[in-house]
Chains A and B, each alone.
Chain A
Amino acid sequence: MFYLRGCGRWVAASFTKQQFPLVRLSSDSAAPRTPHFDVIVIGGGHAGTEAATAAARCGSRTLLLTHRVDTIGQMSCNPSFGGIGKGHLMREVDALDGLCSRICDQSGVHYKVLNRRKGPAVWGLRAQIDRKLYKQNMQKEILNTPLLTVQEGAVEDLILTEPEPEHTGKCRVSGVVLVDGSTVYAESVILTTGTFLRGMIVIGLEMHPAGRLGDQPSIGLAQTLEKLGFVVGRLKTGTPPRIAKDSINFSILNKQTPDNPSVPFSFTNETVWIKPEDQLPCYLTYTNPRVDEIVLNNLHLNSHVKETTRGPRYCPSIESKVLRFPNRLHQVWLEPEGMDSDLIYPQGLSMTLPTELQEKMITCIRGLEKAKVIQPDGVLLLLPRMECNGTISPHHNLSLPYGVQYDYLDPRQITPSLETHLVQRLFFAGQINGTTGYEEAAAQGVIAGINASLRVSRKPPFVVSRTEGYIGVLIDDLTTLGTSEPYRMFTSRVEFRLSLRPDNADIRLTLRGYKDAGCVSQQRYERACWMKSSLEEGISVLKSIEFSSSKWKNLIPEVSISTSRSLPVRALDVLKYEEVDMDSLAKAVPEPLKKYTKCRELAERLKIEATYESVLFHQLQEIKGVQQDEALQLPKDIDYLTIRDVSLSHEVREKLHFSRPQTIGAASRIPGVTPAAIINLLRFVKTTQQRQAAMNESPKTDQCLRNADRLQERQL
């Protein structure tokens, strides 16, 4: 553990790499100057840490402002990372050299890939994480990141200045004012304050404002945002109580063991820090009619479920499960909170019942008959800090169950680079945009960090298209459609699910991250390049090997190749059969296939590529169409409400005005925007470009050309 609070307010990053110009802020420097950074990140949650390190990786002098350094890396809700869809996001964060995947590979206590039998496109990498280890490892990483400075402090307000004329937006952010009145200037500011805007904790009928006692950091900031005209919505979320490990009778419950071997999250790791046999199990139990009864009899004591605040369509709490799906048994996963933790996290039991009823309900569940619900100590109840997961950071062993209600900013007010339309150089990432989950927050953090940095160096934004990654789907959904419930990643949201797989996130994003964003290390880049060329070579070799099906039968007797045709069968087609892998294929045709089995990852990835080959061919056609539309950029300063040159209905104008889509592709995904409107917009774009080209050297056309080039590059 790092105990940094005693070490003074400023914690400079790694002093080991002295070639980086570090900002000297300590009191030994002569005249006190107003500090100036390239990028300031406000908030040290999952979005904030990724944003700060991404900006620093891109070469920006970055300041991470957080309430308390010792809560950096806090997993404030469930003790797990990944899952179906979320695991995909983590692989993409890792492909951009983000932190969370690598930290998870060092901190997990139970690694398991979900959906093993459903196809590699939907495998969900997941792990139970030791909270303490994660925090430790994350803090070590953060505090050793070159160019990154960490400071404790609460932000009271933004410093706003005149807007840059060449960009849209009312004004420009140029720094922050801290609670103590001091100021810090920066070229870009990223807000990752989670549920901290007007957060309220709900327990039973009690409501408490969230935020540290004595601190009222959110007031000034929230007011400023409101004054600027940001549209705010309200969401709610919750967390379950924790249970003392030694009070649970595990012997009568279903035990789930981890995978052997463990699959690491990061492309850079071949294995995780802990052997499978040393990992901890999870257990499964179920609710019963008694649980229903307690919920239903006590609804009057439960303001969280009664409130009209929009909750998700899915069932986040045991109350909503019982109300919407009565007379059923609901699963409760009992998950370890860490190697040496005495606590168990009952996944599936989020609730906001008054504390005495929580224990009553829990003890009627099988295996939990004698369960001890760990009660929070009285002081902490009012102290918890809001974390970006929408929950309160349970520092130490705070384990209260509660609901949280909080403000979020309608994400249609930000661009796909996560910069706000209203305020230049101000970026939002994480739960503030209406998402839920560590992974969703981390994914936005990386993108915000990269773009805040690119903005400083006046480079074009780094936007991930929905054809390139789950990150792209997440951000495109948020920025074009908005959300009215905490947005969570599902694979069903992804049109090109078979193309955007966990296994190939590096090919999709690492190369671009290196070239377009500069956020990827040389080593990772070279590894991805090697993998890409090896895969391409392997696939073309597999395509070139052709035998008759009878010969294949002799070579690999265990596979029943359909002999409906007398045409020769490619090795690639044989590899499509479930019972064939690269090893068996290389045994049959050692030359030239043997060398592709030496790297296990390569062999596995070739198998996956073969599985999806024919479908991917068709999907690529459609991806091209979407990318063409996305390469057609709409002018940023277009005023949809008043513009005369475009024939648009009033309804369409309002929709476009609010979402401000950046490309024709994004515009066409806004519900209610008709094909005719799209064509008219297209015509407008083309004529605008033409007029500008005639007037000068036309930067816009250049940009479109660049986009077109990039498009071709991306089509691998």
Chain B
Amino acid sequence: AVNKAEEPQNPPQLGHLAIIKPLVYLTLRLSLPDALIRLPSGSRLCTRRSSGAAAPGSGATIFALSSGQGRCGIAVIRTSGPSSGHALQILTAARDLPPARHASLRLLSDPRSGEPLDRALVLWFPGPRSFTGEDCVEFHVHGGPAVVSGVLQALGSVPGLRPAEAGEFTRRAFANGKLNLTEVEGLADLIHAETEAQRRQALRQLDGELGHLCRGWAETLTKALAHVEAYIDFGEDDNLEEGVLEQADIEVRALEVALGAHLRDARRGQRLRSGAHVVVTGPPNAGKSSLVNLLSRKPVSIVSPEPGTTRDVLETPVDLAGFPVLLSDTAGLREGVGPVEQEGVRRARESCNFLATVVASVGAQSPSDSSQRLLLVLNKSDLLSPEGPGPRPDLPPHLLLSCLTGEGLDGLLEALRKELAAVCGDPSTGSPLLTRARHQHHLQGCLDALSHYKPSKDLALAAEALRVARGHLTRLTGGGGTEEILDIIFRDFCVGK
């Protein structure tokens, strides 16, 4: 009974869409807030590791989702290492550890914000009587991506913890004399799940924008390092061109700025709650608030037939098809009359800077900007007379919906699910949510290492900083051997006996 009063008497001024007057744009903004969470400074110490070789530092405490990657009722997140107990205390805000090897129900909350994450079963396995032989904790949480990613992020923020490398749990178990049980059925599957799936998942995530960025950064860094290495190995006996170090220095500083900006953007995202951001925009009285209410199944916005009823941006965290989503309702896109409404419109524009993008993307029919996915939804389909003309044929791809009757809602939800899956990863094939903690960890590690690069001092030390930085990036992109460095050296410089 919320939007019964909607009347077509105030047609919006978007001429080419005039057949169906009310119009709602849905904008899915690709924001990956959890990729972007800054680890507290204390945790960086443990991230500082040396160059390329993938040697699992046994001192660190590792964590990973260890249950299957799809949507499931219960997900198991596991930690292993000396800080496991500490992490458990921090997440459960408890002074004492639960009794060993007993399931206990605990409220998990984010140690930074105090925000509750889930009510979960936790198990504390002090070493050596554990899967890996080290101190281990298992968190049995509710299996939605929002909860899982929330707990992973929370663990990533605990000093001394880092995301596990592929196969690291199993390797630790072997190293500590556990897991000699070949007779256990399915161990091979388990190993496969832990290694190959993680690897593939990490690679899949690298197809996107972030992967593109990472590869570009890794290339720049590899080249800069190769030039510094050339200067060390050949600078005295062979004539390298002038300015090799200066050029490398410029590139490293530029990279530092780019990484810094990326991580700062990420931190801005952190203020929003975790999840993809769905912004509903459109002309006044298109039924945006009705749609938000429909999707969130509770009245969030005041709905009235008067255009301009919503004067502010309302944000509602909802679970759409299993994805954590922040749903925003914006004031209508018209020049408001009252100052309150004007402010609302301004804030709507500011909050997502959507206006230009929306129009451009829709006009081009292919949202080339991968960070903003658009769904064109035409509301009030109930007003179309069955025998009358349909929507104009030159309209971009769109969905018909009636918030009043609920007709088209299933189609919209399915379309949303697809869009969200594209943004967040499809839970049925493995969600990049789980690897974002890794990205965050290694990008921050890279940036920290770059800050130690001081070419004026001991050049071996400076090169070491670049090696460490490159080690972090190549954990994300793959590659990273010394042969790549030598290839660049011999390509760019005339060196030899």
Residues of A within 8 A of B (CB): 78, 83-85, 114-115, 117-122, 124, 312-317, 320-321, 324-325, 328-331, 333, 347-348, 350, 490-493, 495-498, 578, 611-612, 615, 618-619, 621-622, 624-626, 628-629, 645, 647, 668-669, 671, 674-676, 678-680, 682-683, 686-687, 690
Instruction: Say which residue of A122, A316, A321 sits within 8 Å of B232 (CB atoms).
Output: A122
**Per-residue interface assignment for chain B, residues 99 to 121, with 1 indicating a CB less than 8 Å from any chain A CB and 0 otherwise:** 00000000000000000000000
Q: Are B182 and A683 in contact (CB under 8 A)?
A: yes
Q: Determine how close the nearest CB of chain B comes to the CB of A589; give it in whole angstroms.
A: 24
A316 to B216, CA, bound (A): 32
9 A-B residue pairings within 8 Å (CB atoms)? A78-B497, A122-B459, A497-B460, A497-B463, A621-B58, A624-B57, A628-B175, A683-B182, A687-B182
Q: Are A492 and B195 in contact (CB under 8 A)?
A: no
Q: Of residues 12 to 44 in B, which have CB atoms within 8 Å of A's CB atoms?
A: none
Q: Are A493 and B482 in contact (CB under 8 A)?
A: yes
Q: Are A611 and B461 in contact (CB under 8 A)?
A: yes
Instruction: Say which residue of B187, B464, B486 sits within 8 Å of A615 (CB atoms).
Output: B464
Q: Which A residues are in CB contact (< 8 Å) with B231?
A: 118
* B320 within 8 A of partner (CB): no
**Per-residue interface assignment for chain B, residues 471 to 490, with 1 indicating a CB less than 8 Å from any chain A CB and 0 otherwise:** 00000000001100111011
Q: Are B237 and A333 in contact (CB under 8 A)?
A: yes
Q: Which B residues are in CB contact (< 8 Å) with A690?
A: 180
Q: Are A114 and B237 in contact (CB under 8 A)?
A: yes
A686 to B172, CA, bound (A): 13
Given contacts A330-B494, A625-B56, whether A687 and B180 have CB atoms under 8 Å apart is: yes
Q: Which B residues are in CB contact (< 8 Å) with A626?
A: 53, 55
Q: Of residues 42 to 63 in B, which have CB atoms within 8 Å of A's CB atoms?
A: 48-59
A627 closest partner in B (C-beta): B55
Q: Determine how close the nearest CB of chain A comes to the CB of B240; give it in whole angstroms.
A: 10
A490 to B232, CA, bound (A): 9
Given contacts A612-B461, A676-B195, whether A315 and B49 have CB atoms under 8 Å apart is: no
A664 to B347, CA, bound (A): 59
Q: Are B233 and A84 in contact (CB under 8 A)?
A: yes
Q: Which A residues are in CB contact (< 8 Å) with B171?
A: 678-679, 682
Q: Which A residues are in CB contact (< 8 Å) with B56?
A: 625
8 closest cross-chain pairs (CB), A and B: A625-B55, A119-B458, A119-B460, A315-B496, A325-B494, A118-B459, A121-B460, A313-B490
A629 to B486, CA, bound (A): 26
Q: Are B53 and A312 in contact (CB under 8 A)?
A: no
Instruction: Say which residue of B55, B179, B229, B239 sits within 8 Å of A329 (CB atoms).
Output: B239
* B170 within 8 A of partner (CB): yes
* B394 within 8 A of partner (CB): no
* B199 within 8 A of partner (CB): yes
Q: Are B236 and A84 in contact (CB under 8 A)?
A: yes
Q: Determine how close the nearest CB of chain A comes to the CB of B58; give it in whole angstroms.
A: 6
Q: Are A119 and B459 in contact (CB under 8 A)?
A: yes
19 additional A-B pairs beyond A618-B49, A674-B199, A683-B182, beta carbons within 8 Å, are: A84-B237, A118-B458, A119-B459, A313-B487, A316-B496, A317-B496, A330-B494, A333-B237, A491-B232, A491-B460, A498-B461, A621-B49, A622-B53, A626-B55, A668-B54, A671-B481, A675-B195, A680-B191, A683-B179
Q: Which B residues are in CB contact (< 8 Å) with A625?
A: 55-58
Q: Of residues 177 to 204 in B, which have CB atoms within 8 Å of A's CB atoms?
A: 177, 179-180, 182, 187-188, 191-192, 195-196, 199
Given contacts A313-B486, A674-B195, A686-B179, whether A118 and B460 have CB atoms under 8 Å apart is: yes
Q: Which A residues are in CB contact (< 8 Å) with B463?
A: 497
Given contacts A321-B494, A324-B494, A619-B50, whether A115 and B457 have CB atoms under 8 Å apart is: no
Q: Which B residues are in CB contact (< 8 Å) with A682?
A: 170-171, 174
Q: Are A496 and B50 in contact (CB under 8 A)?
A: yes
Q: Are B494 and A315 in contact (CB under 8 A)?
A: yes
Q: Are B494 and A628 in contact (CB under 8 A)?
A: no
Which of A121, A350, A676 has the most CB atoms of chain B within a 10 A radius of its CB?
A: A676
Q: Which B residues are in CB contact (< 8 Å) with A490?
A: 229, 233, 486
A498 to B464, CA, bound (A): 8
Q: Determine how close the nearest CB of chain B comes to the CB of A529; give it in whole angstroms.
A: 27
Instruction: Say which residue of B175, B236, B482 sits within 8 Å of A492 (CB atoms).
Output: B482
Q: Are B55 and A629 in contact (CB under 8 A)?
A: yes
A524 to B192, CA, bound (A): 51
A122 to B463, CA, bound (A): 11
A495 to B464, CA, bound (A): 9
Q: Which B residues are in CB contact (< 8 Å) with A312?
A: 496
Q: Are B461 and A676 in contact (CB under 8 A)?
A: no
B228 closest partner in A (C-beta): A492
Number of chain B residues whose Cβ lies closer than 8 Å to a Cβ of chain A: 61
Q: Determine how close the nearest CB of chain A comes to the CB of B460; give it in whole angstroms.
A: 4
A618 to B53, CA, bound (A): 14
Q: Determine how close the nearest CB of chain A comes to the CB of B167; give it in whole angstroms.
A: 4
Q: Are B192 and A686 in contact (CB under 8 A)?
A: no
Q: Are A83 and B195 in contact (CB under 8 A)?
A: no
A494 closest partner in B (C-beta): B482
A483 to B270, CA, bound (A): 49
A622 to B59, CA, bound (A): 10
Given contacts A321-B496, A683-B187, A687-B180, whether A676 and B50 have CB atoms under 8 Å apart is: no
Q: Are A679 and B170 in contact (CB under 8 A)?
A: yes
Q: Of residues 202 to 227 in B, which have CB atoms within 8 Å of A's CB atoms?
A: none
Q: Are B497 and A330 in contact (CB under 8 A)?
A: no
A83 to B236, CA, bound (A): 10
Q: Are B58 and A618 in contact (CB under 8 A)?
A: no
Given contacts A119-B459, A492-B486, A615-B464, whether A686 and B195 have CB atoms under 8 Å apart is: no
Q: Determine how close the nearest CB of chain B comes to the CB of A261; give it in whole angstroms.
A: 19
Q: Are B232 and A115 in contact (CB under 8 A)?
A: yes
Q: Which A residues are in CB contact (< 8 Å) with B166?
A: 675-676
A27 to B264, CA, bound (A): 86
* B495 within 8 A of partner (CB): yes
Q: Which A residues are in CB contact (< 8 Å) with B52?
A: 495
* B390 within 8 A of partner (CB): no
A303 to B247, CA, bound (A): 39
A690 to B237, CA, bound (A): 54
A348 to B58, CA, bound (A): 47
Given contacts A313-B486, A330-B239, A690-B180, whether A676 and B196 have CB atoms under 8 Å apart is: yes
Q: Determine how close the nearest CB of chain A comes to the CB of B160; give it in whole angstroms.
A: 13
Q: Are A316 and B482 in contact (CB under 8 A)?
A: no
Q: Which A residues are in CB contact (< 8 Å) with B58?
A: 621, 624-625, 628
Q: Determine how close the nearest CB of chain A comes to the CB of B67; give it in whole angstroms.
A: 19
* B397 within 8 A of partner (CB): no
Q: Which A residues are in CB contact (< 8 Å) with B174?
A: 679, 682-683, 686
* B235 within 8 A of partner (CB): yes
A315 closest partner in B (C-beta): B496
Q: Determine how close the nearest CB of chain A comes to the CB of B204; give it in whole angstroms.
A: 16
B487 closest partner in A (C-beta): A313
Q: Are A680 and B188 in contact (CB under 8 A)?
A: yes
A229 to B57, CA, bound (A): 41
Q: Are A85 and B487 in contact (CB under 8 A)?
A: no
Given contacts A618-B48, A618-B49, A687-B182, whether A122 and B460 have CB atoms under 8 Å apart is: yes
Which of A350, A491, A675 has the most CB atoms of chain B within a 10 A radius of its CB?
A: A675
Q: Determine how close the nearest CB of chain A comes to the CB of B71; give it in whole angstroms.
A: 25
A241 to B266, CA, bound (A): 62
A578 to B456, CA, bound (A): 11
Q: Are A578 and B494 in contact (CB under 8 A)?
A: no
A330 to B166, CA, bound (A): 47
* B382 within 8 A of partner (CB): no
A679 to B195, CA, bound (A): 9
Q: Are B196 and A674 in contact (CB under 8 A)?
A: yes
A374 to B196, CA, bound (A): 63
Q: Which B residues are in CB contact (< 8 Å) with A331?
A: 237-239
Q: Which A residues are in CB contact (< 8 Å) with B195?
A: 674-676, 679
Q: Are B461 and A119 in contact (CB under 8 A)?
A: yes
Q: Which B residues are in CB contact (< 8 Å) with A675?
A: 165-167, 195-196, 199
Q: Determine how close the nearest CB of chain B comes to the CB of A315; give it in whole angstroms.
A: 4
A124 closest partner in B (C-beta): B236
A682 to B182, CA, bound (A): 12
Q: Are A314 and B482 in contact (CB under 8 A)?
A: no
